[in-house]
Amino acid sequence: MVQTLTVLGLESSCDDTAAAVVRQTKGAKAEILSSVVHGQTDLHSAFGGVVPEIAARAHAEKLDVCVVQALDAAGLSLRDMDAIAVTAGPGLIGGVMSGVMCAKGLSAATGLPLIGVNHLAGHALTPRLTDDIAFPYLMLLVSGGHCQYLIAHGPEQFTRLGGTIDDAPGEAFDKTARLLGLPQPGGPSVEVEARDGNAQRFRFPRPLLDRPGSDLSFSGLKTALMRMRDQIVAVKGGLTRQDRADLCAGFQQAIVDTLAEKTRRAIDLYLDHNPVDPVVAVAGGVAANSAIRTALESVCAQKGARFTAPPLALCTDNAAMIAYAGLERFRAGARDGLDLTARPRWPLDQHSPAMLGSGKKGAKA
């Protein structure tokens, strides 16, 4: 096996079309040579959510542009690549298929090996890409479509300790923004509003805290928010800026408190088996939220665990994480053929029972 590997990665599982080039010399930290992301927020904004058919079409139109831009930015050509990695699931199936077909075309034309990557593994391995974290570590994957606690043992070995039984937190942020007339994606809008709000004014539930373990539930929060919003509107005829800020602050605080407590429990479970130099990593779009990061940091400090979170641009969907996860698989000897299939569902921990509920990306993986 060559010591230095350079991999082109493609991502198209939701509403970001992305391509990136990542290089790693065995035993050294990986290097992101380029990372291009074309978001689709404008295309979906009129609909209040991601429209799968529009997303798939836009991915098909933009993927080759992203590939050219990523190669140019890296100063390399396809001839310099050792493999092509692509998100093969889970995600919105039309988008995943756009990426897989593009990667197959490139692989067939160049003879480069094709590596299918689990999008969730891309997020879950990001701490290795950014901070060279060794296995094992505890990962909180928290995004628009997913929320789960995983022990990462290896590039394809994960144990799920718990997860959401309904909505993902990002989905709850997005729905909250929609209910309050704030722009999408909802997470950043709600976070900005919450800065000027009083989190104590409205009492939001802290779901599933009365149940042992690390499973989570977020769908009740938006129902609570809708009820509070409707009460204010019934009394005053509308929402003031302060009402909106207070609702956002109360909602965000409920998510912060819930994630903090469930993380405390997940760390306890993790420490039972891995007590030496514990590392807790967070990834996924919601990890961009600074109130959540601060709370997780303080839980980790209390538990004596090192906390790591990728830079914001690598928390949300990107192709550098896919190129890196593909590079790890490739180094471990994995190869996929032109029969690689796009998968709407693809749980990281094949041994855990499926979680209930469904979200933006379909049934929870």
Residues at the interface with ligand KG4 (CB under 6 A) = 14, 143-145, 170-171, 173-174, 185-188, 191, 284-286, 288-289, 316-317
Q: Which residues contact 146 (CB under 8 A, 6 or more apart)?
A: 120, 123, 163, 164, 168, 284, 359, 361, 364, 365
The distance of closest approach from Cβ of residue 288 to ligand KG4 in the complex, given in angstroms and rounded to an integer, is: 4
Closest alpha carbon to 144 in 124, 120, 174, 118: 174
The distance of closest approach from Cβ of residue 135 to ligand KG4 in the complex, given in angstroms and rounded to an integer, is: 22
CB nearer to ligand KG4: pick between 106 and 282: 282
Residues 75-104, mask of contacts with Zn ion (x by CB under 5 A)? ------------------------------
CB nearer to ligand KG4: pick between 89 and 144: 144
162 touches which of Zn ion, ligand KG4, none (CB within 5 to 8 A by kind)? none
Q: Which residues contact 244 (CB under 8 A, 6 or more apart)?
A: 180, 182, 193, 197
The distance of closest approach from Cβ of residue 117 to Zn ion in the complex, given in angstroms and rounded to an integer, is: 12
Give the separation between CA 245 and CA 194, rounded to whole angstroms. Answer: 5
Residues 214-273 interacting with Zn ion (rule: CB under 5 A): none
Counting contacts by CB under 5 A, is residue 317 touching Zn ion? yes
Q: Give the CA distances from residue 92 to residues 15, 56, 57, 78, 184, in Å, rounded to whole numbers and listed in that order.
A: 9, 8, 12, 27, 18
The distance of closest approach from Cβ of residue 12 to ligand KG4 in the complex, given in angstroms and rounded to an integer, is: 12
Give the end-to-end CA distance of the chain in Å, rounded to a whole number: 33
Is the preceding omega at residue 278 within 30 degrees of 0, hence cis? Answer: no
Q: Which residue is associated with the tokens 């969730």?
A: 120
7 touches which of ligand KG4, Zn ion, none (CB within 5 to 8 A by kind)? none
113 touches which of ligand KG4, Zn ion, none (CB within 5 to 8 A by kind)? none
Contact 35, 316 (CB under 8 A): no
187 touches which of ligand KG4, Zn ion, none (CB within 5 to 8 A by kind)? ligand KG4
Residues 131-170 interacting with Zn ion (rule: CB under 5 A): 143
Give the separation between CA 223 and CA 204, rounded to whole angstroms. Answer: 10
Count residues contacting Zn ion (CB under 5 A)?
2
Q: Which stretch binds Zn ion (CB under 5 A): 20-28, 161-169, 309-317, 350-358?
A: 309-317
The distance of closest approach from Cβ of residue 153 to ligand KG4 in the complex, given in angstroms and rounded to an integer, is: 22
The distance of closest approach from Cβ of residue 205 to ligand KG4 in the complex, given in angstroms and rounded to an integer, is: 19
Give the separation between CA 304 and CA 322, rounded to whole angstroms. Answer: 31
The distance of closest approach from Cβ of residue 213 to Zn ion in the complex, given in angstroms and rounded to an integer, is: 24
Q: Which residues contact 346 (CB under 8 A, 6 or more apart)?
A: 88, 89, 90, 118, 119, 120, 365
288 touches which of Zn ion, ligand KG4, none (CB within 5 to 8 A by kind)? ligand KG4
Q: Give the CA distances from residue 214 to residues 266, 320, 328, in Å, rounded to whole numbers and listed in that order.
A: 6, 29, 29
Q: Which helix (H) or strand (E) holds 84?
A: strand 83-89
Residue numbers of the site for Zn ion (CB under 5 A)?
A: 143, 317
